[in-house]
Amino acid sequence: MLHSLPFLYPRLFLGKEPPSITISEGWQRLVIDMCAAIDAALPNGMVEDFYIESIKEERARLSVRYHGTFTPEVANIIDAIEDLSTTVCEDCGEAGRQRSDGWMRCLCDFCEKERLIRLNRKN
């Protein structure tokens, strides 16, 4: 689904390189909603130098890297989605919280249990 974002919101992905979007399934709805909100907040027509470079997980938080001129409203949308991601399970999209055992993740209780079971099976 995320591979279609540059086609759905071409004004947001006008960089020289294709955007790097590397997130788990649980955060996909956040990213889609963010793109729709940014697209609506940008002035009509093409935006010459604004584009999203990457969307990824960084320290159990959604991280959106962008370039160019943007309005305070766009910055607020991105900040709000990044903040919201710390309460959404990155695997399933349910309510979650940040967890760390050497590697930080934002997971719900169920997905955390599943992760621990998989880890124990490997050991």
Could you tell me the pLDDT band of residue 15, with boundaries at 50, 70 and 90?
Answer: confident
What domain range includes position 23?
A: 2-122
**72-114 pLDDT tens trace:** 899 999 999 999 999 999 999 999 999 998 889 999 999 999 9
Q: Yes or no: say if 91 and 107 are a contact pair by the CB < 8 Å rule.
A: yes
Q: To the nearest whole percent, how much of the chain has pLDDT over 90? A: 60
**Would you say the pTM of this structure is higher than 0.85?**
yes
Count up the domains in the chain and report the number: 1
Q: What is the mean pLDDT of residues 27-33?
A: 96
CA-CA distance, 30 to 16, in Å (whole number)?
A: 25
